[in-house]
Structure 1
């Protein structure tokens, strides 16, 4: 797990911000957790975090979640986050990476598509996962295949 958080720690000055370092013990869960955080930093966006392999796999979407099943939202994969970030709310100083206010918008549990492992569900193009939260009801995620020359992966 520690190796999964290298990029996370390199981007942050953990001595100057209240964001979790990943060192805290997080109570185990019977399900795979997810969190959606509204992050008002340089540009307002929503961070989607899905628990897998001891970290939150994370994506950022500039448009918030929608309750209309016809709406589509693009999310771009970002570095893994520690599990204790799923409860984080607060203000990151503006001069630091990710500076701005973070609010917990929803949280709950996610399940991969039937007959898929969690790893397959997040890695495969056209694979979907269900999110069941306290405020969101249900969302379906579909990974979009990017071009080979793209530096980022889409995860919406």
Structure 2
């Protein structure tokens, strides 16, 4: 049995589409390639009505220019025996680990709560950056005789 095989190629345009946005809203951009030349044609979303972009053209799902990531400063403080550690309002995170004794914590000037040895607590916010979230309260950790605890915190610098 013998035969031949082959393919037939016809010269056709290669079209690709993308939905873009500008100051006026969404529109359709068609990229056509014919004879090695690419041509971009803008239309309304119906694909027929001509469209003239206004303002900056971006992908519709593109986020606005991202704010630069803030610098984050970290501190770790150990308190043994009597004494206090204060974390000012505006921190991004605060973490406490109690190793011994019964220190207390007062948040935002509220009533102090006694903590048992082995306690581990954390407070934090998700979004930082300029205008981002911060813990709004001051934290005051007070050690008594026999206390041993560590406080770590982060904040934008």
Q: Do they fold alike, i.e. is TM over 0.5? A: no
Which has more radius of gyration?
Answer: 2
TM-score, length-scaled by structure 2:
0.21
Which structure: greater helix fraction? 1
TM-score, length-scaled by structure 1:
0.21
